[in-house]
Amino acid sequence: MEFQPIERGAGAFQQTVTAEEIQAICARVFGTGTLAVRAVELGAGMYNNTYRVDLQGQEHPVVVRVAPEPGRQFRSERELMRNEYASVPWLAPIAPLMPRVIAADWSHEVIGRDYLVQSFLQGVPAPDRLGGYPRSAWPVFFRQMGAIARTVHAVRGPSFGPVAGPVYATWSAAVTASLEDIAADLDSVGLDAADLRKVAAVAAHHRDVLDEITQPRLLAGDLWTVNVMLADHAAEPMISGVLDMDRTWWGDPAADWTIRMALAKQDERVAFWDTYGPQDRSPATAWRSHLYEARHLGAIRLERHRLGNTDGVNNTFGTMATVLSALT
């Protein structure tokens, strides 16, 4: 088999599997006579290892995604692949945009890691294609993003928290638990989490403001440009696929990463709101948005550490101090 992994250092978070393990996965899923003739690791994702695999005698490639070893997973990112799999039935409203799950294996009998095998989505990653269009066409893309986010957020859930659990009866309990988990992860790698613990204490003290959110809605968790595919030869940007919905959870749509990114700049992305709908500008919503930003910053600090971005880690402290001052 022709095998093209991404070369990384021994200390990198993402660690490739071997060609033999790719073959073993394909034999497990498609039968013992199946031969993988080529496997190329795709580098856009920063958590799972993802491979495009060509199978002998099959016209279309498949995608094999392999989760980190259990011992390398943080508390706040535990079993994200299983969370994504549990989300599939709830994401039916955008099913035409998503890859089809061919197989999921949590047994660790083939390799000591969870893995998914999915259909291969045609198209080009949006970060690679969007810049090829004139900026005057970019609002078309962001209007599509707004429509997709609105569709996801319209899905009502049974409880708060990650789709695969643990579940919480109230939104305040889910948010506070998430903040505490991220803080514990920061502690585990020797990073200062005192500011995030202050945020968790504020959230617990003002739980009544959080618990104005009584209806759990589906949050995509990580839906933005990096996880979107565009049709290759369309005259204007056209979203053809949505990927990596592994951070889905039930809660307040305003807490979703998608909303944070839509608000990040006053540029072409303001077209997002044309299809998503108007923003809630009430004082309670504004206060909750500061709390959600603090949670995002805690997760960003952890991710930047995982990626070895020391300067990026350090930059989160000043920003967090500003957000904390707005909460207290």
User: Cα(80)–Cα(49) distance, rounded to whole angstroms?
Assistant: 13
Spans of the chain, pLDDT less than 50: none
Contact 106, 82 (CB under 8 A): yes
What pLDDT was estimated at residue 156? 98
What pLDDT was estimated at residue 10? 86
What pLDDT was estimated at residue 68? 96
What pLDDT was estimated at residue 44? 81
Question: How many other β-carbons are positioned within 10 Å of the β-carbon of residue 17?
Answer: 21
Could you tell me the two tokens for 15?
């660690």
CATH code of 2-119, in short, is: 3.30.200.20
Closest CA to 199 of 306, 76, 319: 319
CATH code of 124-327, in short, is: 3.90.1200.10
DSSP state at residue 215: S
**Three-state helix/strand/coil letters over 240-291:** EEECCCCCCEEECHHHCHHHHHHHCCCCHHHHHHHHHCCCCCCHHHHHHHHH
Alpha helices for the chain (secondary structure H): 19-30, 80-87, 126-129, 138-153, 171-188, 194-205, 207-210, 257-263, 272-276, 283-306, 310-327
- Report CA Rg, the chain: 20
What pLDDT was estimated at residue 328? 86
What pLDDT was estimated at residue 11? 86
Predicted model pTM: 0.96
Percent pLDDT > 70 in the chain is: 100
Task: Kindly list the domain boundaries of the chain, sorted by start residue.
Answer: 2-119, 124-327
What pLDDT was estimated at residue 63? 98
User: Cα(222)–Cα(226) distance, rounded to whole angstroms?
Assistant: 9
Q: Do domains 2-119 and 124-327 have the same CATH topology?
A: no
What pLDDT was estimated at residue 230? 98
Closest CA to 327 of 299, 296, 294: 294
